[in-house]
Structure 1
Amino acid sequence: MTSTTESIPDEAQSRAVRASRTVPASPEQVWQHLISREGTQALLGPGAQLGSKGESWHSDDGPHGVVRSYHPLEQIRVSWHADDDAPASLVDLQLAPDGTGTRIDLVHEHADDASLQARWDGALERLTSGMS
């Protein structure tokens, strides 16, 4: 498994947090784990459940939002509110075949909190370690 992370400023002077992992599993295997209860909670937090496009999700530790895009085996995009008073931002997770494995790329757009890099690094670590 390989991983890379970086924070880069975008043209609007807000930040995008990026995290990636490559796992030795097919996109189908990664997708099934991602949408399972264990996989969703590894990514979004305890208690979180993913629904269809337009459905709300909520983590017991505060973050919540709405599923904005849901493309099986390829992509999930959710709005992200860190808490009830926080502005919305977007989290985009994409899967792509990579050799005999799958690359998982996560981008949190307009992420103004530097602690989000550690959150997403940890989330992808939890998500991918739960696949072994």
Structure 2
Amino acid sequence: MSLQQDTDAEVATPDGKDAIEVVQHVPRPISEVWARLTQKEGIEAFLGEGAMLGAKGDPWHAADGTCGVTRSYHPEQQVRVSWHADADAPATLVDLQMQPEGDGTLLTLRHEHLDESADREALRSRWDAALDRLTRV
């Protein structure tokens, strides 16, 4: 399946902290994208091998050392997690929004609260690849 990345921009959050945003249009219905995200393979495609999403407040851990807590989970709309690059890294916030667009789904991933030392290009690449894996058939 071919995916189109519509935009990829660095933006400032309302409180002045830096964020990156990755947007992709996926030529699959939102119900299929959500179903994939809620399965083990989809969660791991999104957050990393070993990651499992739980209820609000539940921790998650991936084999690459990234970790966080599920912050919110709204079927066919949004998943928000805190995200640490490793156990000692400061918390950031990853928000994945989805909405129907035509016959497909618009995915908007926003990674917020990045400090000056964050490698924004590496994070853009990470999340762009994660969305590709998540929506791959």
On whether the aligned pair clears a TM of 0.5, the verdict is yes
SS state of the match for residue 46, structure 1?
Answer: coil
Paired position in structure 2 for 1:19: 22
SS at match of 1:125: helix
Report deviation, 1:8: 2.1
Secondary structure, aligned partner of 2:125:
helix
**1:2 maps to which of 1, 4, 20:** 4
- Kindly state the Cα deviation for residue 12 of structure 1 after the two structures are TM-superposed: 4.5
Q: Would you identify which runs of 4 or more consecutive aligned residues in structure 1 move more than 4 Å?
A: none
- Deviations, residues 41-97 of structure 1 (Å, cap 9, x unaligned): 111011111111111111010111110001111101001111111111110001100
Deviations, residues 76-124 of structure 1 (Å, cap 9, x unaligned): 1001111111111110001100001111110000123122111111111
Match of 1:78 among 52, 77, 81: 81
How far apart, CA to CA, are the structure 2 residues paired with 1:128 and 1:56? Answer: 24
Q: What is the TM-score with the length of structure 2 in the denominator?
A: 0.88
Question: Unaligned 5+ residue runs, structure 1?
Answer: none
Q: Deviations over 1:12-62 (max 9, x none)?
A: 443211111111211111101011111111110111111111111110101
| TM-score, normalization by structure 1 | 0.91
Aligned identity (percent) is 49
Distance 2:25 2:97 in 1: 12
Distance 1:76 1:10 in 2: 18
Whether the 8 Å CA contact 1:7–1:117 is kept in 2: the answer is no
Q: Paired residue for 1:45?
A: 48
